[in-house]
Amino acid sequence: MKYNLGSKKNKQKGIALVELITALVIIGVIAASAAALIPKVQFMQQKHQIGQAVDAIATDALTFRGMRPSYPSTISISNLCADGLLNTSICGTAKTGVGANPFGGDWTLTTSTKLGAGHITIGLTNIPDERFQELADTLAARSKGACTRADSTCPTITQTAPTTNAAGGVIKIDI
């Protein structure tokens, strides 16, 4: 019997170990890149939510004001929530704005002491240190002064920066 061993070609079956390792390395690099972007994307989402909430509070405060002659003494997040003007993401479970902002802090609403009874001050608490100034600058544009930055040249935004690497920052916007 003669066997012709050369007639059968040696065909590769399956994936080689080197190809598997290469694929895993590429997947790892992509995953690491995506993981590095997650905090930035989360902050952008929180910033967007805060902007929408500030706009909603300002609009609904005007609606509330139009319905009541005693507006200057009765404006608060609780009042707007009780009247069903604000949604639950702003009101929170207690319908007071406590613990309801995207950073776990409070929403506040009062009559503006700087601009008078015809204006309001919207506040946010518990803002973390990492992107505090960026958020303050973004909200400065929504203030009555329509400032480009939240600094000493913008009288319609007040900020108390948090301690380094912690939360606790406060921003108040006069609208």
Instruction: Locate the domains of the chain by residue range.
Output: 17-174
At 13 the pLDDT is 67
At 46 the pLDDT is 92
Q: Residues 5-27: what's their mean pLDDT?
A: 76
- The model's pLDDT over 81-128, given as tens digits with 9 standing for 90+, comes to 999 999 999 999 999 999 999 999 999 999 888 887 778 999 999 998
**Residue 107: exposure state from Cβ atoms within 10 A (0-12, 13-18, ≥19):** buried
- The model's pLDDT over 120-165, given as tens digits with 9 standing for 90+, comes to 999 999 998 888 999 999 999 999 999 999 988 999 999 998 888 7
At 119 the pLDDT is 87
Q: Residues 27-32: what's their mean pLDDT?
A: 92
For residue 7, pLDDT beyond 60: no
Please report, to the nearest 10 degrees, the dihedral formed by the alpha carbons of residues 90, 95, 97, 101 taken in order.
-40
- Domain boundaries 17-174, corresponding CATH code: 3.30.1690
- The model's pLDDT over 38-89, given as tens digits with 9 standing for 90+, comes to 888 998 999 999 999 999 999 999 888 877 776 666 789 999 999 999 999 9
120's enclosing H/E stretch is strand 116-127
53's enclosing H/E stretch is helix 17-67
